[in-house]
Every structure is written in C-alpha cells, then in structure tokens.
Amino acid sequence: MGEFFKGIGKIPYEGKNSANPLAFKYYNPEEVVGGKTMREQLKFALSWWHTMGGDGTDMFGVGTADKTWGQTDPSARAKAKVDAAFEIMDKLSIDYFCFHDRDLSPEYGSLSETNAKLDEVTDYIAEKMKADPTKKCLWGTAKCFDHPRYMHGAGTSPSADVFAFAAAQIKKAIDATVKLGGNGYVFWGGREGYETLLNTDMGLELDNMARLMRLAVDYARSIGYTGDFYVEPKPKEPTKHQYDFDTATVLGFLRKYGLDKDFKMNIEANHATLAQHTFQHELRVARVNGAFGSIDANQGDTLLGWDTDQFPTNVYETALCMYEVLKAGGFTNGGLNFDAKARRGSFTPEDIFHSYIAGMDSFALGLKIADRMISDGRIDKFVEDRYSSWTTGIGKDIIDGRATMADLEKYALSKGEVTASLGSGRQEMLEAVMNNIMFSL
C-alpha cells in the first residue's frame, strides 16, 4: 500500500498563532476541556461517502475531484479507498468512521455477489482495525435510496418485494456494522416519504416503516449487537415530504409504534435548518426527551434551501451545539460525524485536509466556549432564577401534584392580577454574555 497524500504529514496542533494551513489552531487532542480530553469529548468521525466517494458531481456537471484512488477495477478501488481512508484518519487524528454499505463496496449483478464483495472489503477493514485499534466504527447504515428499485421508497415502498429486498440489505449492513464493532446503526429515510398523496397510502407506509425498524432491531439484538440505533430526521430532499421530518415528529412516530426505547436521534445541523429549526433546537428536543444520540456535523447555507453539507465553520453554532452535548452529559456511543463535503471548486487532495481542519477547529472552539458558558454560570443562573417560582409555594404544589383546579382558582382570585410576577427575558443581555464569553477565550 502506497501513500496517497504525499507531502502531507500528520497534522500537528500548533495553536492559534500558527499561520500553517495544515495545522490545527484549536484542536489539541490531548488537551482536557470539561473533564475529558478533546479527543474524548468530540469523537470526530470521517464520512466514507463524502470523503472517499464524493467527487463533486452535481446535476449540472461531472466530478471535479479525483476519487478513483488510482484504481479502475471496483474491487481494487474499494480496498484502495480503505487504505486512503485510514491514511486520512491517521493524519488528522480522527478515531472514527461512518459508512453506508455501498460506500464500502458497490452493487454487483446480484445480491449474493454484492454481499460477497462487501464481505471482502469488511474483512480488509477489520484487518486494518486489528493492526490499529485506535480506529473505530462510529456507525454504519444501508444505502436504501440510490438504486432504481428504491424509487418509491424502501421500507415505505408500495412493493412488498422491495420491502423484502431492503430488509435483506439492512440485515447485511447490520452484520457489517457488528463485524466492525460499530457503536451505532442509523436509519436515515432516504426516500421514505412521498411526492403526492394522490398515489400514497400514508398509513400503510408508516406502519411498514415501523415493521422494518422493529425487525431490524430484533435481528441486531439477536446477534449480540449492543450499540445504539439512531433515526436521522430530515424534512425533505430527496422526497418532497420525508416522514422523519424533525426530531419531534420522529419521537411521535417512535412512541406510536413502541420503538422509543430502541432509538435515539442522529441530529444533522443542515437537516435542522431545512426543517426551519435551529441546530440547537433539534438537539434540545432530543435531549429533553432522553433521545440525544449522535450528530452529523455540517452546516447549510441560509440562502439555499437544500442540504449543502458544508463543513461547519460557524463557531457560534458549534458552541451552542457543544453546550447541548455537554448538558446531555457528553457523547456515549455517539460522536461528531462530518457528514460534510468540500465545495465542488475545492477539488484538490489538500482540500480534504483543509476542510476537516476547519471543521475540527470550529468544534474545538465550540467545545471550549460551551465549557466556559457552563463554568461562567451567568446563563445557567439566569435560567434558574427565571423559573424559581416553581421551587416553592404554588409552583411547587403544582409540580408535586397537590394543586387542584379549584386551588388554582382560589389562588388566582386571591391575587387578583399576576403580571407583576414576570421579569424581563433579557435576551439581548444574554446574547452579549455569550459574545463576551466567546471573545474572552
């Protein structure tokens, strides 16, 4: 195996005064922030699809970046991709990777041939992981959306044959994830949605999606898988309406079908904004419902209405994200997967490194700011005080279930008017506190 990125060595941490574009300015893997090293807090992952496969192809033009890894034969290319991925992870000090089955190995003529070829690649990865146990699988998933058979959905296809095929593909992807010691398995509903209700039995489609998820969980547990299952919400794209619209919608779905104990969320920043939410909103909804799991780290463009999957560089957003992560107690099985791609014009091999450095440094800064927001205490103290009426008196009686409607009426009548119990929300003051913390790092 040769070196793919000659001239790029291991990316060092050089600190904020460095002008070296191939050095970290803020990500210092062994530095302790909030009681753990940055490496443990941030748990960065490489996404196989964007980094190893994405060549910049879009609907207006062909690829601009060479992602052939010097091989034309699909099987040789799949293995070269593994070598290149391990080199990238190594040079960037990234410990985890995420994959779709078809990112590792493409489809061949039949499912049995496709499965056999996938086995060869996962064997090869397993060998490399044995040689370097610092490299781990954050999560795996099945690409049940690109092939024409999935044009009307996979788990939500009108065809029972397609449902069965998807189940077989997912079974194999779970096997691959378990074989590689994956900590998570993701369901992202690629084409699980609809274009028009004129041709759609929504009730049956949702029931079937739940059936597939139940079957998958039961199968994985039966072969000893102990990791997490995640749903990755997204409101639209590729379908007009995706069933897994946002975290709140997914939670309702999981509860309806009794799957809420089995699934957590994989929250993607760009999906949150497509759903007209902030990234922090989605993380907060997951957290307060005990469903926070993992993160697809990227960012959208506020002027564009699709999943641009840009590398995250907005430090305000990474800080609010890491604030939610720290408040959730940090990652357990999850991590920060860069579901992100360099722009089509950023086509050179160095751009892969510049992109990851930019994203990792932005999250390192976000972590430091979030940790400071918590230790500074001004924001948390303000929120605590704002809700202090719930800790004594009538508020405590309500929370403890002691107050009846009649009691509350009696209380309100005795007060006559309660507007005076309200204080200012102090939004501007708190935003200034956040700026003060950000820029005094």
**Alpha-carbon distances, residue 46 vs 43, 168, 186 (angstroms):** 10, 26, 15
- The answer to whether 244 contacts ligand XLS (rule: CB under 6 A) is no
- The answer to whether 232 contacts ligand XLS (rule: CB under 6 A) is yes
- The answer to whether 268 contacts ligand XLS (rule: CB under 6 A) is yes
Q: Which of residues 10-69 bind ligand XLS (CB under 6 A)?
A: none
| Nearest approach, Cβ of residue 324 and ligand XLS (Å) | 19
φ, ψ for residue 193 (rounded to 5)?
A: -175, -160
Distance (Å, whole) CA 416 – CA 398 = 19
The 3 state secondary structure assigned to 194-207 is ECCHHHCCHHHHHH
| Residue 371 binding result from Ni ion, ligand XLS, none, given CB thresholds of 5 to 8 Å by partner type | none
Out of 24, 188, 263, 331, which residue is the one contacting ligand XLS (CB under 6 A)? 188
> Please, which residue, 141 or 183, has the CB nearer to ligand XLS?
141
**Buried b or exposed e, range 227-246, using 16+ CB within 10 angstroms:** bbbbbbbbbbeebeebbbbb
**Bridge pairing between strands 193-194 and 44-47:** unpaired
Out of 95, 107, 282, 307, which residue is the one contacting Ni ion (CB under 5 A)? 307
> Please, which residue, 157 or 270, has the CB nearer to Ni ion?
270
- The answer to whether 101 contacts ligand XLS (rule: CB under 6 A) is no
CA 76 to chain centre: 30
**Alpha-carbon distances, residue 53 vs 34, 46, 157, 277 (angstroms):** 35, 12, 27, 29
The DSSP result for 181-196, as a single string, is: T-SEEEE--TT-EES-
| Residue 244 binding result from ligand XLS, Ni ion, none, given CB thresholds of 5 to 8 Å by partner type | none
8 Å CB contact between 102 and 193: no
8 Å CB contact between 201 and 126: no
- The answer to whether 307 contacts ligand XLS (rule: CB under 6 A) is yes
- The answer to whether 107 contacts ligand XLS (rule: CB under 6 A) is no
Out of 107, 268, 361, 371, which residue is the one contacting Ni ion (CB under 5 A)? 268
Q: Which of residues 338-397 bind Ni ion (CB under 5 A)?
A: 339
Out of 107, 192, 246, 296, which residue is the one contacting Ni ion (CB under 5 A)? 296
Length of the chain in residues, anyone? Answer: 441
8 Å CB contact between 24 and 13: yes
- Residue 108: closest CA among 121, 120, 118, 99: 118
> Please, which residue, 57 or 75, has the CB nearer to ligand XLS?
57
| Residue 142 binding result from ligand XLS, Ni ion, none, given CB thresholds of 5 to 8 Å by partner type | none
> Please, which residue, 246 or 296, has the CB nearer to Ni ion?
296
Distance (Å, whole) CA 198 – CA 196 = 5
Q: Which of residues 315-344 bind Ni ion (CB under 5 A)?
A: 339
Which residues have a catalytic role annotated?
Answer: 100, 103
Distance (Å, whole) CA 104 – CA 124 = 11
Q: By rule CB under 6 A, what count of residues binds ligand XLS?
A: 10
| Nearest approach, Cβ of residue 10 and ligand XLS (Å) | 28
Q: Which of residues 118-137 bind ligand XLS (CB under 6 A)?
A: none
| Nearest approach, Cβ of residue 297 and Ni ion (Å) | 9
> Please, which residue, 235 or 366, has the CB nearer to ligand XLS?
235
| Nearest approach, Cβ of residue 139 and ligand XLS (Å) | 9
Helix axis angle for 202-222 and 160-179, nearest 10°, is 30
| Residue 141 binding result from Ni ion, ligand XLS, none, given CB thresholds of 5 to 8 Å by partner type | ligand XLS
Distance (Å, whole) CA 48 – CA 100 = 8
Distance (Å, whole) CA 397 – CA 390 = 8
Helix axis angle for 378-386 and 427-439, nearest 10°, is 160
- The answer to whether 95 contacts ligand XLS (rule: CB under 6 A) is no
> Please, which residue, 81 or 234, has the CB nearer to ligand XLS?
234
- The answer to whether 141 contacts ligand XLS (rule: CB under 6 A) is yes
- The answer to whether 192 contacts Ni ion (rule: CB under 5 A) is no
> Please, which residue, 163 or 188, has the CB nearer to ligand XLS?
188
By beta carbon distance, the residue nearest ligand XLS is 188
DSSP H or E stretch at residue 239: none
Distance (Å, whole) CA 322 – CA 314 = 13
Residue at 214: amino acid letter: R
- The answer to whether 339 contacts ligand XLS (rule: CB under 6 A) is yes
| Residue 187 binding result from ligand XLS, Ni ion, none, given CB thresholds of 5 to 8 Å by partner type | none
> Please, which residue, 205 or 307, has the CB nearer to Ni ion?
307
The residue ranges that bind Ni ion (CB under 5 A) are 268, 296, 307, 339
- Interface ranges with ligand XLS (CB under 6 A): 100, 141, 186, 188, 232, 234, 268, 296, 307, 339
